[in-house]
Structure 1
Amino acid sequence: MKITKIETILIEEFPNICFVQVHTDEGFVGLGETYFGAEAVSAWIHDMGANVLLGKDPLTIDKHWQDLVGFVGARSTGIENRGRSALDVALWDILGQVSNQPIYQLLGGATRDKIQAYNTCAGYQYTRKRPKHASLPVDNWNTHIEEGPYEDLEGFLYRADELAESLISEGFMGMKIWPLDPFAEATKGRYISMEDLKKAIEPFEKIRKRVGDKIEIMVEMHSLWDLRTAKQIAQVLDDYRPFWYEDPIRMDNLDSLQNFARSTRFATAASETLGTRWAFREVMEKQAADVIIFDPTYTGGISEAKKIISMAEAYQLPIATHDCVGPVSFAVDVHLSINAPNALVQECVRAFYNTWYKELVTEVPVVKDGFVYPLTGPGLGTKLNPEVFTRSDVTIKESKV
């Protein structure tokens, strides 16, 4: 069997997502995905990735992973590694189709039949705009768009207590919120006044006052703060018993991350911004995080995710895969979490999987009563909907043998 064609599929409505399809001469088509810089990733896939893969056996996945490393971008979440991640996922999808097994089975089988979920409180429009995690435009905080019951970004900003009750009613064990971000934007993360800090913690106060400890709170800090200010924030938020502090500072100084982790009574989680096992090895060696979070479509695909998971297990650390991106990544996440013995919890976004995820792919992992269930079809268990290819805002680029 040989790879005969590689396609990238970009959709203007979702400008951060790059879908990849890898075609074979035996009719198998593997699906992959990555997020951020979609046009640049697409260019790399056709300029570099296609030269490595076209005409080759799709099942020699480890060899292809090494050959796709290239001269630059080997240890990062940059364009090269995200392109490699998407291609790696597509190759695993082909392997699953050829063997007629779901990916979690190929990884060694299920260690559980479902995994508990927490909800990242994004809204319906959150990924329909340009990347916002590092710089959040004002209009993303003041749109007041109501499209249904899951406008959860507005929920945590204005009625966090009601949102917590809603999530508890659906069985979620936790909720991730980021009310501190606007204050980081104002000072580049170097200062927060006590007055602003009091405003920022209002959602936490509302949640604990209304529901007590019936739901966990994950504090998303988006790597926006310097060490001093992050520690100041944590000293105040510790009173609200957060489940973890996620990416409190930039991940470019792990000694500083270790410093932060030792300064708080609660867990530090890191980091979707890191790429490959070598970056995570340093986090683990320095004991700089209590929970290893990674995105398999940033860090090197399923192949690299499996290695990171096993390494974390050796360090007695739990893992939690990153969602809040696209539907294929969510499917990959759940396959990994179902297999990994040290998986702690699965991130999901109810505003996504209940709406636009289903517009783009044929199947989405079921979230029910606070648990996520894996897709059980061969490979990923999902494909792009046929309607994707006829959208007026779709751009399809292909490389052939």
Structure 2
Amino acid sequence: MKITAIETLQWAEYPRLMIVRVHTDEGIIGLGETVDKIPGAKGALHGTIAPLVLGQDPLDIEGLWQFVMDNIMYHGYAGAETRALSAFEIALWDIMGKKYNIPLYHLLGGKTRDKIPTYNTCIGFGAYQDYQAWHDDAGALAKSLLADGISAMKIWPFDQYSEESFGQYITHPQIEAGLEPIKKIRDAVGLEMEIGVEFHFRWNRVSMERIARALEPYNILFLEDVLPAVHPDEIKLLGQRTTIPIVGSELLMTRWQMREWMEKHVAPIYMTDPVWNGGIAETRKMAYMAETFGVPLVLHNVAGPICHAVCMHLGAHIPNLFYVESVRAFYKSYFSVLSELEVVVENGRLNLPIGPGLGVTLNPEILQRPDLTRQLSEGPGLANGRRSMGDHWAVEEIR
């Protein structure tokens, strides 16, 4: 089997999302995906990765990943190139599953669980304006989520107050204002709803310590991305000053970036995103590393149906799973527009996809939409079967 073309699909209605289709000479098409900062990832996929992998065997997933990483690591790999590689690698696993007619979790070695624990990240889209809802009445939103079978939610009520001081100082009135949604949730549903608080690395440690102290009485599930991930020592110090577990970080790409955190025991819960960090195999390697240190893992999942399916398969397989993030506003709105994936949540847990590979089939009509932008890279490629860069200057056409 050979890779004959790499195709990207984008729709103006969903500008954060890029779906990738990897075509083969046997007619099998694998699906991949990445999210956010799409122009860079798209350019890296078509401009850098496609010439390396066209004409190669898509079933050699590890070999192709190592070859691409060998190339992109030369220039610094933790950005657009790795997001593009993630989408491509995911499509290869989908091809393999379709080739052998088995689901991804079987390819990975089978399941450790049948249902996947989830928390809802309260973003808004379409009819489900959950972002505005937690600003208006977080208690009412908590009741709505519980009615949909969701028993954990994540909000970020303190972020808005970081802008004025660049995250250097938060006032007592700002802390009280940030606590309001938390109080409304507890008043409305008590401890029926788990609450995670996201910080999007907006604050310094001294401000985060003040916020964490204020949150202590409210039985918070976790504090996520409290400081930029490049400050592991500060994050560890913060963790020693609060009883609330710290989660980090979706910003750590590949197992090499997460290694320092593990060696320093920075956080009690790790997080990674398979459409950013290098893909499915890389996520599994990071999970195994975390398991070695006795630490659970959260899978970051705020994209489309392909990312969601990947996280379900990985979540079923990984023994040290803590939660998989999900977004009700997404899977109840555009997932069904783009694909046939059915998402069911019951008692705080999500269902597994059904079918070979990822278990995701795109709806044919989305390929005919007027807001679709399609780009195709095809042909024999430039690597000519090469699987290692060797002397970069001797192969300037792919350097």
Fold conserved (TM > 0.5)? yes
For the residue of structure 2 that corresponds to 1:384, the secondary structure is coil
Instruction: Give the aligned partner of residue 61 of structure 1.
Output: 61
How far apart, in 1, do the equivalents of 2:47 and 2:15 lie? 20
Of the three residues 302, 308, 313, the one matched with 1:324 is 302
Are 1:35 and 2:35 counterparts? yes
Partner of 2:120: 119
Structure 1 residue matching 2:57: 3-state secondary structure:
coil
CA contact (8 A) 1:116 1:173 kept: no
- Distance in 1 (alpha carbons) for counterparts of 2:163 and 2:310: 32
Count of matched residue positions in the alignment of Structure 1 and Structure 2:
378
Q: How is 1:161-172 mapped onto 2 (pairs within 5 angstroms)? A: 161-172=139-150
* CA distance in structure 1 between the aligned counterparts of 2:341 and 2:238, rounded to whole angstroms: 40
Q: Which amino acid aligns with 2:122?
A: C
Amino acid at match of 1:83: A
Distance in 2 (alpha carbons) for counterparts of 1:54 and 1:24 = 9
Specify whether residues 71 and 5 from structure 1 end up closer, same or farther in structure 2 by C-alpha distance, changes over 3 A only: closer
- Secondary structure at the aligned position of 1:292 is classed as strand
CA distance in 1, matches of 2:302, 2:204: 24
RMSD of aligned residue pairs (Cα, Å):
1.4
Shift of 1:74: 7.6
Within 5 Å, which residues of 2 pair with 1:120-139? Answer: 120-124=121-125
Superposed, which structure 2 residues align to 1:2-401 within 5 Å? 2-69=2-69, 70-72=71-73, 77-124=78-125, 147=127, 150-401=128-379
Q: Is the 8 A contact 2:11 2:373 kept in 1?
A: yes
Over residues 357-378 of structure 1, what are the superposed CA-to-partner deviations in whole Å (9 max), with x where a residue is unaligned? Answer: 1111221443234211111210
Change (3 A) 1:320 1:75: farther
Matched to 2:40, the amino acid is A
Kept in 2, the 8 Å contact 1:76–1:276? The answer is: no
Query: What's the CA shift for 1:68?
Result: 1.0
- State the shift of 1:305 in Å: 0.4
Q: Per-residue deviation at 1:79?
A: 0.1
- Provide the C-alpha distance between the structure 1 equivalents of 2:365 and 2:7, rounded to a whole number of angstroms: 16
SS at match of 2:321: coil
Q: Answer whether contact 2:254 2:277 (CA < 8 A) is retained.
A: yes
Using a 3 Å threshold, how does the CA distance of structure 1 residues 365 and 95 change in structure 2: closer, same or farther?
Answer: farther
CA displacement at 1:72 relative to structure 2: 3.9
**1:75–1:275 Cα contact (<8 Å) kept:** no
Aligned CA distance change for structure 1 residues 326 and 179 (closer, same or farther; 3 Å)? same
Return the alpha-carbon distance in structure 2 between the equivalents of residues 75 and 170 of structure 1. 43
Point out where structure 1 has 5 or more consecutive residues left out of the alignment.
126-146
Other-structure match for 2:389: none
How many Å apart are 1:106 and its aligned residue?
Answer: 0.7
Deviates more, 1:360-369 or 1:81-90: 360-369
- Aligned-residue sequence identity (percent) comes to 40
1:305-349 deviation line (CA, Å, top 9, x unaligned):
010011111111111101122221111111100111111222111
C-alpha displacement of 1:209:
2.0
Structure 1 residues 53 and 364: alpha-carbon distance in aligned structure 2, compared to 1, 3 A threshold: farther
* Residues 331 and 364, structure 1, Cα contact 8 Å, conserved in 2: no
> Residue 117 of structure 1: SS of its match in structure 2?
strand
Equivalent position SS for 1:328: helix
Judging changes above 3 Å, is the alpha-carbon distance between structure 1 residues 374 and 320 closer, same or farther for their aligned structure 2 residues? same
Tell me the CA shift for residue 49 of structure 1.
Answer: 1.0
Distance (whole Å) between structure 2 residues aligned to residue 331 and residue 56 of structure 1: 26
What letter is aligned with 1:12? Answer: A
Report which stretch shifted further, 292-301 or 160-169. 160-169
